[in-house]
Amino acid sequence: MIDTYKHKGLRKILVRTIKEKGIKDERVLKAIEKIPRHFFVEKYSDEIAYADKALKIDAGQTISQPYTVAYQSELLHIQPGDKVLEIGTGSGYQTAILLELGATVYTIERQEMLYKKTTAFLPTLGYNPHFFLGDGSNGIPEHAPYNKIIVTAGAPIVPETLLKQLTIGGLLVIPVGDEHVQKMTTVLRISETDYEKIELDQFRFVPLIGDKAW
Ligand code: SAM
C-alpha cells in the first residue's frame, strides 16, 4: 500500500468537491485530506476510490460516500477526548476520521468478516479504536456513557437504549427512515429525561440490522 502525490492530489479534489456540497468544518476536511481512502477500498482504481461515491465492500456492505462521512462527522462536533460510540464499523474509514478528530472510539460491527478485516488493518495505519463484534443496535452499555454516538446504517426508529447511553449534553447522529430513504437525525440529551430531536437531509444507507433495528 503506497500513498503517492497522485493520491494526495485526488484527495485535494475530493475535499474541494465536498466543500462545494456544503461541508465547512475545517478539521473534518483536513482529516479527509489526510486519510488514504484507497487503502480502505483496495479493489477499486484510484479514481473510483476518490470519487464522492459509496462503494461496495465485503459482506454485501458499503463504505459510505465521503460527503456522507463528512456530513455525519461535522454534525458530531467532535472535541478532542470525546468518548464516541460508532455503530457499523464497515471499512473502518469513518472510524479513522473520528480518531483523527481526537476522539476515543468504541466501534461495533455485526459482520464478522468486516470486524476481522478492520481489527487487522486499522492498527497498521496507527488507528487504534476499541473494536467489538455484535449487534450495536443495543449500544455497548458496559462502556457507556458516551459523549457522542454515530450510527452508520439506516434505522427504522431512534433506539431508546442508545439515548440512555449518552452523557447529559451528549449527541446521537443516526439516519432514520424506511429501507429506501432515511433522514439524518440528531438527538441531544438535555437532561436525565429530556431530549431535543432535529431531522435534517435525506440519505440512503444499508439497513441497521438487529434487536432494536430491522
Ligand atoms: N462508516 C462505514 C465506513 O466508512 O465504511 C460505513 C459502514 S456501512 C454504510 C454500515 C455498516 O453497519 C455495515 O458494515 C453493516 O454491517 C453495519 N451494521 C448494520 N447493522 C448493524 C448492527 N446492528 N450493529 C453493528 N453493525 C451493524
Whether the pLDDT of residue 1 is over 90: the answer is no
194: in domain? yes
Q: Which long-range contacts (CB under 8 A, 24 or more apart) does 164-169 make?
A: 164/139, 165/85, 165/139, 165/140, 165/141, 168/192
Q: Indicate if ligand 1 lies below 6 Å from the C-beta of 64.
A: yes
In a domain, 8, yes or no: no
Q: Whose CA is nearest to atom 15 of ligand 1?
A: 88
In a domain, 52, yes or no: no
**Cα 64 to ligand 1 centroid, rounded to whole Å:** 9
End-to-end CA distance of the chain: 37
Q: For 28-37, write each residue's pLDDT tens digit.
A: 999 999 999 9
Ligand 1 proximity of 63 Cβ (cutoff 6 Å)? yes
Whether 192 maps to a domain, the answer reads yes
For residue 40, the model assigns a pLDDT of 98
Q: Is residue 169 part of a domain?
A: yes
Does ligand 1 come within 6 angstroms of the Cβ of 114?
yes
Ligand 1 centre and the CA of 19: distance in Å? Answer: 25
Quote the CA–CA distance of 94 and 66 in Å, as a whole number. 9
Protein residue with least CA distance to atom 7, ligand 1: 90
Kindly state whether residue 119 falls inside one of the protein's structural domains: yes
Query: In this predicted model, what pLDDT tens digit does every residue of 117-137 receive, in sequence order?
Result: 999 999 999 999 999 999 999
The average pLDDT across 137-148 equals 98
Distance from the alpha carbon of residue 47 to the mean position of ligand 1, in angstroms: 24
Q: Is residue 96 part of a domain?
A: yes
pLDDT band (50, 70, 90) for residue 89: very high
Residue 71: C-alpha distances to residues 7, 32, 78, 180, 209 (Å): 22, 12, 12, 19, 22
Q: How many of the other CB atoms lie within 10 Å of CB of 52? A: 15
**Residue tagged 488507528 (cell numbers):** 127
- Would 186 be classed as within a structural domain? yes
- Looking at the chain, the whole-number percentage of residues with pLDDT higher than 90 is 99
Contacts (Cβ under 8 Å, ≥6 apart) of 181: 202, 203, 204
Q: How confident is the model at residue 183 (pLDDT cuts 50, 70, 90)?
A: very high
Q: What is the mean pLDDT of residues 132-158?
A: 98
Structural domain boundaries enclosing 193:
57-203
DSSP line for the chain? ----HHHHHHHHHHHHHHHHTT---HHHHHHHHHS-HHHHSTTS-HHHHTSSS-EE-GGG-EEPPHHHHHHHHHHHT--TT-EEEEE--TTSHHHHHHHHTT-EEEEEES-HHHHHHHHHHGGGGT---EEEES-GGG--GGG--EEEEEE-SBBSS--HHHHTTEEEEEEEEEEEE-SS-EEEEEEEE-SSS-EEEEEEEEE--PBP-STT--
Domain count, the chain: 1
Active site residues: 64
At residue 212 the predicted structure's pLDDT band, cuts being 50, 70 and 90, is confident
Q: Is the pLDDT reported for residue 181 higher than 90?
A: yes
CATH number, residue 161? 3.40.50.150
